[in-house]
Chain A
Amino acid sequence: AQKITQTQPGMFVQEKEAVTLDCTYDTSDQSYGLFWYKQPSSGEMIFLIYQGSYDEQNATEGRYSLNFQKARKSANLVISASQLGDSAMYFCAMTGSGNTGKLIFGQGTTLQVKP
Chain B
Amino acid sequence: EAGVVQSPRYKIIEKKQPVAFWCNPISGHNTLYWYRQNLGQGPELLIRYENEEAVDDSQLPKDRFSAERLKGVDSTLKIQPAELGDSAVYLCASSLGFGTVYNEQFFGPGTRLTVL
Contact = CB atoms under 8 A, between A and B. Distances in A.
Interface of A: 4, 31-33, 35, 37, 42-47, 50, 52-53, 91, 93, 95, 99-103, 105-108
A44 B108 CA distance: 6
B43 interface: yes
Contacts of B98: 99-101
Contact of B102 (A33, A42, A45, A100): A33
Most buried by B among A44, A46, A95: A44
Given A4-B42, A93-B42, A103 B105 contact: yes
B41 A31 contact: no
A6 B97 CA distance: 28
B80 interface: no
Nearest to A6: B42
Contacts of B40: 107-108
Contact of A42 (B41, B105, B109): B109
Interface stretch (B12-20, B71-79, B87-95): B87-95
Contacts, number: 71
Contact of A99 (B48, B55, B100): B100
B75 to A, nearest CB: 15
Interface in B44-67: 44-45, 48, 55-56
22 contacts: A35-B104, A37-B107, A44-B108, A44-B110, A45-B43, A45-B93, A45-B107, A46-B107, A52-B101, A53-B101, A91-B43, A95-B103, A99-B98, A99-B100, A99-B101, A101-B95, A101-B103, A102-B33, A103-B105, A105-B43, A105-B44, A108-B41
Contacts of A46: 107
A100 B45 CA distance: 12
A99 B56 CA distance: 12
B54 to A, nearest CB: 13
Given A99-B98, A102-B48, A108 B42 contact: yes
A107 B41 contact: yes
B73 to A, nearest CB: 18
In order of increasing CB-CB distance, the 8 nearest A-B pairs are A105-B42, A101-B98, A33-B101, A45-B107, A43-B110, A44-B109, A101-B103, A95-B101
